[in-house]
């Protein structure tokens, strides 16, 4: 059994026709060969629109390859027994109106597993997902992490030999992300193989093997540690200055000799194009990780240009000491359930303020109260000095909002979406055209302008959504998980833009599940179970971790959340 | 104010792209009214044609012979079939082989010869009320004429009625139905487009983004009128041009007034659709909600049964139904050259409905937003 590979692909290619007549066809996959043995896990990574999802759909038998052979369990994929494959499409395939239990039992029956006859399997599913207490909750009212766990459980109800999971951990907090990985391992059969696509290299590093797809070709194949080695001798770390952290990072990113840079713990990390560190600081060689290798491998050799997006923002220097965003004991109750309680914070112009917390903690509710999408049950929220109720149309013009879920028009092209958004913000004629062109150029949307927004890869959708939020160069920017589903290189660019926009005097409120990104924030508020449990600069939060001289923000995050859980159970 | 115009224009353009640039939707919106025009125009006739009549004839004399040949000669009678007895005739009516049965007694000719009044029995299929009434009318007329021919001396000198049908000299039903179709089909198409307007955004999750933008709810609604309004105008104009081309129905009124009326009418139906859409959480609810309003609107319009014949408490309700006014305008402008002031008098209530429905939609939208 173990001798025969589960998957064998030889020279597979797939080409899609262009977005409109006359447009060149898109080579989604080009000469892909791979094998996967039972019991192994394979991580598929790569830049947005790199061909990951197309490959998954070919493996699941949903798309036919133009060329090459695809064998699943020793037989051509066309003869595939669908019961042998657990396929979880991007975003899952749940019925929002059905409850957790109804979804799970529906998928079980569809896969020939009668729930009554398999109580053990069902019990395992409930226990492993932690959804036992939410059996009767409709799927569309679950938090992001729970929804992904349920979707995963539905896909692999029957413990199939082959599990194809397309972005199972997108938009999920670090704790839940680890749980989803463990869940996949636990729900797999003893000889099941897992194919897992992700834009998070940290997740992919947990797999046995890793494949990096770029423009339809395999750029790297092998162990995750091997990918990290690509950046060996070229990764350096220097102490992070206590003042001007963002400026230091910004400066580093725009240097010709630097591929990518980030903040981690108390140090600044840089991946360079050669084995010599950038000048200026006291650099020491550092251990590269898979993400560093990814960046080094995909380096296009061009230095990151200064943010064109930010240059359009007028410098806002007045009223720097008057809060641009203020939340005063914001509270939202839905019946007996409190989604957010007494959330208080202020954000000043030019500041980046991060809301952190697990899925379902109340971040988005707080966000939506400030945007005027949800009426608070108590407390007060002001944006640009005005209360954002529905009537305050003028106040809404001061706001750029990027929702967590892609909320632009799927049946319109990228360019039509941007034009529409420009119009709703009162931009017209040449001004609107200039704004749209600027966003298209700055976010590399040029190849996609004619594409239907709904059919874009996840990462491109996020770029479009960010572009739509900053078209009108607002003084206040709300970004709800702007980088979820975006590949590491583009994440770096996103933050490059966000930092530069803040530097022009815009107040930025952001939520993220990436703790290395949270390092970019001036101040953070950690929300858990509807309550603010910690606030301060990244360094303030890290002080909560005792006995570690250089903790990462992720360690601080986990420590603080566990501390709250302990004190609550002690109180109860 | 220019800001509001820019926003409305952006919304209208976006709506037109979403609704009209989808090739499948466009095909449906253009092809279906043409197909419906043909089907409705030629299938829905209130005229009773192709009548089949059964006879149980026990009289061998001249009276029955004259009566039957006169019956068979009526234009809309297709066949007169003889049955041996009442039982066979009853079965034939039951099986819908015939709509009416004449029972001619054995002494009919003899009685008439004696100068006594003759009697003939008539059975009608009451399941087909309207048709049965018309057939009874035809047969009564035939019996009266036959009697007069047989015994001219017994004919009562009644005043001669010289009937002349104004506006529709040959009483062609198509002259009534086809102009009415403009109203009905435009309603269906405009409503089915406009009820989706808000519901589509809610279902797709785009509503949130829209709510965070500086666009007022009435501006959203105004922009969202665009697709339904243009579809209504297109179809209305298409019908006005097509009907005189494909049929013998004349168009006597002013084309400009007609198009203006179509615009007012589409606007009022669009606004009603937006009300429904403001309440719906998803497209399925919107579709069913549209169904909920469209049927009463059609029933109250006066197309199927005249408003004057409705229950007296219903008649004022029919006044707020834009369909009832549009039907008057359609018939008025097609069959007679309805003067502009009378057309305007019918347009005003439609506009009033449009304004009120628009205001209601705006209120519902604000109320439903949370």
- Domains present along chain B, CATH in parentheses: 2-44+168-368 (no CATH), 51-154 (3.40.1710.10)
pLDDT at A1: 44
pLDDT at B9: 92
Across chain B, what does the average pLDDT equal?
87
Residue B33 near residue B185 (C-beta atoms within 8 A)? yes
Q: How confident is the model at residue A389 (pLDDT cuts 50, 70, 90)?
A: low
**Cα–Cα distance list, A535 to A237, A340, A564 (Å):** 27, 16, 14
Question: What contacts A242, CB < 8 A, 6 or more positions away?
Answer: A539
- Average pLDDT rounded to a whole number, residues B43-64: 82
- Average pLDDT rounded to a whole number, residues A223-249: 88
DSSP output for B296-361: HHHHTTTSSS-GGGS-TTTHHHHHT-HHHHHHHHHHHHHHS---HHHHHHHHHHHHHHHHHHHHHH
How far from chain centre, in Å, is Cα A517?
11
Three-state secondary structure readout of A126-184: HHHHCCHHHCCCEHHHCCHHHHHHHHHHHHCCCCCCEEEEECCCCCCCHHHHHHHHHHH
pLDDT at B275: 95
On whether any CB of chain B is under 8 Å from the CB of A560, the answer is no
Q: How confident is the model at residue B46 (pLDDT cuts 50, 70, 90)?
A: low
**pLDDT over 80 at B37, yes or no:** no
By C-alpha distance, the chain A residue nearest B13 is A420
> Does ipTM exceed 0.90?
no
Residue B195 near residue B273 (C-beta atoms within 8 A)? yes
User: Is B215's CB within 8 Å of A393's CB?
Assistant: yes
> Percentage of residues in chain A with pLDDT exceeding 70?
98
**pLDDT over 70 at A2, yes or no:** no
Cβ-based burial of A220 (10 A; exposed 0-12, middle 13-18, buried ≥19): buried
User: Is B18's CB within 8 Å of A421's CB?
Assistant: no
Identify all chain A residues contacting B3, using CB atoms and an 8 Å cutoff: 426
For the stretch B167-211, pLDDT in tens is: 887 777 778 888 888 898 899 989 999 999 999 998 888 988 888
In A160-289, which ranges are continuous DSSP H helix? 174-187, 201-204, 224-229, 245-253
Q: How far apart are CA B200 and CA B208, in angstroms?
A: 12
E runs forming strands in A240-324: 258-264, 267-272, 284-285
Å between A86 CA and nearest CA of chain B? 27
- Average pLDDT rounded to a whole number, residues A35-50: 89
Identify all chain B residues contacting A397, using CB atoms and an 8 Å cutoff: 214
E runs forming strands in A231-312: 235-239, 258-264, 267-272, 284-285
On whether any CB of chain A is under 8 Å from the CB of B73, the answer is no
Q: Is A430 left (phi over 0), alpha (psi -120 to 50) or beta?
A: alpha
DSSP output for B201-264: HHHHT-HHHHHTSS--HHHHHHHHHHHHHHHHHHHHHHHHHHHHHHSS----S-HHHHHHHHHH
CA atoms within 13 A on the CB side of A292: 26
Question: What contacts B345, CB < 8 A, 6 or more positions away?
Answer: none
For the stretch A247-291, pLDDT in tens is: 888 888 888 889 989 888 788 899 999 888 888 888 999 999 888
Identify all chain B residues contacting A411, using CB atoms and an 8 Å cutoff: 18, 22
Identify all chain B residues contacting A415, using CB atoms and an 8 Å cutoff: none
**pLDDT over 90 at B267, yes or no:** yes
Looking at the partner chain, which of A374, A406, A424 has a beta carbon nearest the beta carbon of B213? A424
pLDDT at A522: 92
User: Is B370's CB within 8 Å of A374's CB?
Assistant: yes
Using DSSP's 3-state secondary structure scheme, residue A312 falls into coil
DSSP output for A523-548: EEEEEETTEEEEEE-HHHHHTTSTT-
pLDDT at A396: 85
On whether any CB of chain B is under 8 Å from the CB of A399, the answer is yes
Q: How far apart are CA A175 and CA A358, in angstroms?
A: 7
pLDDT at B235: 87
Residue B368 near residue A375 (C-beta atoms within 8 A)? no
Q: How far apart are CA A170 and CA A174, in angstroms?
A: 10
E runs forming strands in B100-176: 100-104, 121-124
Alpha carbon dihedral B198, B199, B204, B205, in 10-degree steps, equals: 70
A510's enclosing H/E stretch is strand A507-511
Q: How far apart are CA A356 and CA A511, in angstroms?
A: 6
Domain boundaries, chain A: 7-222, 228-308, 399-473
Query: What φ, ψ does residue A554 adopt, rounded to 5°?
Result: -65, -40
Task: Centre a 10 Å sphere on the Cβ of residue A543 and count the other Cβ atoms it contains.
Answer: 12
pLDDT at B155: 66
Alpha carbon dihedral A253, A258, A263, A267, in 10-degree steps, equals: -130
Identify all chain B residues contacting A374, using CB atoms and an 8 Å cutoff: 370
Q: How far apart are CA A136 and CA A401, in angstroms?
A: 33
Closest CA to A479 of A533, A536, A520: A520
On whether any CB of chain B is under 8 Å from the CB of A411, the answer is yes
Å between A482 CA and nearest CA of chain B? 14
Mutation to test the B interface, candidates A364, A423, A430, A433, most B Cβ within 10 Å: A423
- In A177-236, the residues whose Cβ lies within 8 Å of chain B are none
On whether any CB of chain A is under 8 Å from the CB of B17, the answer is yes
Q: How confident is the model at residue A424 (pLDDT cuts 50, 70, 90)?
A: very high
On whether any CB of chain A is under 8 Å from the CB of B305, the answer is no
Residue B139 near residue B71 (C-beta atoms within 8 A)? yes
Å between B233 CA and nearest CA of chain A? 24
- Average pLDDT rounded to a whole number, residues B287-308: 89
Q: How confident is the model at residue A19 (pLDDT cuts 50, 70, 90)?
A: low
**Cα–Cα distance list, A199 to A195, A451, A457 (Å):** 14, 22, 12
For the stretch A304-327, pLDDT in tens is: 888 888 999 999 887 788 899 999
- Average pLDDT rounded to a whole number, residues B16-21: 82
pLDDT at B14: 92
**Cα–Cα distance list, A249 to A59, A133, A409, A478, A499 (Å):** 41, 45, 35, 22, 9
Q: How far apart are CA A409 and CA A455, in angstroms?
A: 11
Using DSSP's 3-state secondary structure scheme, residue A14 falls into strand
Closest CA to A499 of A247, A145, A170, A226: A247
**CATH entry 3.40.50.300 includes domain A7-222:** yes
Which of the listed ranges A431-440, B12-21, B114-123, B137-146 does the model predict with the highest average pLDDT?
Answer: A431-440
How far from chain centre, in Å, is Cα A352?
19
User: Is B17's CB within 8 Å of A416's CB?
Assistant: yes
Å between B270 CA and nearest CA of chain A? 22
Residue B346 near residue B328 (C-beta atoms within 8 A)? yes
On whether any CB of chain A is under 8 Å from the CB of B1, the answer is no
Å between A390 CA and nearest CA of chain B? 8
Mutation to test the B interface, candidates A413, A426, A452, most B Cβ within 10 Å: A426
**pLDDT over 90 at B261, yes or no:** yes
By C-alpha distance, the chain B residue nearest A396 is B214
């Amino acid at each position: 059994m173990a001798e025969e590979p589960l998957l064998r692909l030889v020279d597979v290619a797939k080409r899609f026709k262009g977005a409109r007549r006359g447009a060149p066809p898109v080579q989604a996959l080009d000469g892909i060969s791979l094998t996967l043995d039972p019991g192994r896990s394979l991580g598929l990574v790569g830049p947005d629109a790199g061909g990951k999802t197309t490959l998954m759909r070919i493996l699941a038998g949903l798309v036919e390859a133009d060329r090459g052979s695809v064998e699943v369990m020793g037989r051509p994929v066309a003869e595939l027994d669908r019961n042998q494959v657990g396929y979880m499409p991007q975003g899952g395939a749940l019925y929002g109106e059905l409850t957790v239990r109804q979804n799970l039992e529906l998928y079980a029956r569809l896969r020939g597993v009668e729930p009554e006859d398999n109580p053990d399997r069902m019990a395992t599913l409930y226990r492993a997902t932690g959804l036992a207490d939410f059996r009767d909750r409709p799927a569309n009212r679950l938090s992001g992490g729970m929804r992904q766990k349920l979707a995963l459980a539905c896909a692999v109800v029957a413990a199939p030999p082959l599990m194809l999971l397309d972005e199972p951990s997108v938009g999920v907090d670090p704790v839940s992300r680890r749980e989803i990985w463990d869940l996949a391992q636990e729900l797999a059969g003893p000889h099941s193989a897992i194919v897992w696509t992700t834009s998070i290299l940290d997740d992919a590093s947990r797999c046995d093997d890793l494949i990096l797809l770029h423009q339809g070709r395999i750029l790297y194949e092998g162990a995750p540690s091997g990918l990290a080695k690509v950046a060996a001798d070229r990764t350096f770390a220097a102490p992070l200055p206590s003042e001007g952290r963002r400026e230091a990072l910004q400066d580093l990113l725009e240097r010709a000799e630097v591929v990518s840079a980030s903040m981690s713990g108390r140090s600044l990390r840089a991946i360079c194009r050669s084995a010599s560190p950038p000048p200026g600081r006291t650099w020491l060689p550092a251990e590269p990780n898979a993400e560093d290798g990814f960046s080094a491998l995909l380096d296009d050799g061009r230095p990151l240009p200064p943010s064109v997006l930010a240059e359009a923002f007028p410098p806002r220097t007045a009223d720097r000491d008057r809060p641009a965003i203020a939340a005063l004991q914001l509270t939202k109750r839905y019946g007996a359930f409190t989604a957010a309680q007494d959330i208080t914070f202020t954000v000043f112009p030019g500041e980046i303020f991060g809301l952190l917390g697990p899925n379902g903690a109340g971040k988005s509710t707080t966000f939506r109260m400030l945007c005027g999408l949800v009426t608070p049950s108590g407390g007060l929220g002001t944006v640009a000095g005005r209360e954002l109720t529905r009537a305050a149309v003028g106040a809404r013009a001061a706001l750029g909002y990027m929702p967590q879920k892609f909320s632009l028009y799927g049946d319109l092209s990228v360019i039509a979406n941007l034009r529409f958004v420009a119009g709703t913000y009162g931009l017209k004629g040449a001004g609107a055209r200039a704004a749209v062109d600027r966003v298209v150029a700055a976010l590399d949307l040029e190849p996609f302008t004619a594409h239907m927004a709904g059919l874009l890869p996840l990462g491109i959708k996020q770029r479009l959504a960010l572009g739509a939020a900053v078209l009108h160069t607002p003084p206040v920017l709300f970004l709800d998980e702007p980088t979820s589903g975006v590949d590491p290189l583009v994440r770096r660019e996103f933050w490059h833009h966000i930092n530069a926009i803040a530097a022009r005097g815009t107040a930025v409120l952001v939520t993220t599940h990436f703790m290395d990104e949270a390092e970019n924030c001036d101040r953070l508020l950690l929300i858990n179970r509807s309550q603010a449990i910690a606030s301060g600069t990244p360094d303030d939060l890290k002080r909560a971790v005792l006995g570690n001289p250089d903790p990462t923000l992720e360690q601080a995050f986990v420590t603080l959340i566990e501390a709250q859980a302990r004190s609550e159970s002690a109180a109860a | 104010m220019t800001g509001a115009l820019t926003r409305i224009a952006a919304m209208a353009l976006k709506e037109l792209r979403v609704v009209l640039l989808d090739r499948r939707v466009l095909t449906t919106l253009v092809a279906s009214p043409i197909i419906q025009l043909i089907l409705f125009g030629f299938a829905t006739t209130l005229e009773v044609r192709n009548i089949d009549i059964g006879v149980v004839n026990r009289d061998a004399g001249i009276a029955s012979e004259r009566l039957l040949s006169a019956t068979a000669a009526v234009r809309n009678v297709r066949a007169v079939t003889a049955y041996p007895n009442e039982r066979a005739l009853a079965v034939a009516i039951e099986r819908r082989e015939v709509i009416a049965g004449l029972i001619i007694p054995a002494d009919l000719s003899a009685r008439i010869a004696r100068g006594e009044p003759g009697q003939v029995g008539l059975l009608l299929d009451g399941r087909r009320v309207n048709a049965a009434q018309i057939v009874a009318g035809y047969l009564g007329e035939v019996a009266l004429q036959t009697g007069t021919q047989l015994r001219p001396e017994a004919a009562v000198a009644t005043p001669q009625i010289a009937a002349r049908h104004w506006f529709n000299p040959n009483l062609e039903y198509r002259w009534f139905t086809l102009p009415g179709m403009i109203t009905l089909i435009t309603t269906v198409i405009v409503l089915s487009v406009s009820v989706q307007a808000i519901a589509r955004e809610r279902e797709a999750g785009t509503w949130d983004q829209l709510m965070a933008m500086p666009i007022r709810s009435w501006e959203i609604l105004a922009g969202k009128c665009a697709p339904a309004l243009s579809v209504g105008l297109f179809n209305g104009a298409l019908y006005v041009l097509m009907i005189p081309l494909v049929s013998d129905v004349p168009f006597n009124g002013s084309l400009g007034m007609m198009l203006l009326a179509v615009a007012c009418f589409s606007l009022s139906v669009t606004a009603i659709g937006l009300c429904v859409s403001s309440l719906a959480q998803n497209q399925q609810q919107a579709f069913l909600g549209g169904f909920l309003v469209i049927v009463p609107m059609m029933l109250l319009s006066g197309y199927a049964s005249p408003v004057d014949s409705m229950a007296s408490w219903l008649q004022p309700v029919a006044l707020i139904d834009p369909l009832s006014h549009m039907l008057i305008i359609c018939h008025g402008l097609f069959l007679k050259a309805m003067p502009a002031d009378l057309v305007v008098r019918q347009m005003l209530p439609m506009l009033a409905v449009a304004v009120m429905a628009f205001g209601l939609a705006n209120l519902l939208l604000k109320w439903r937003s949370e």
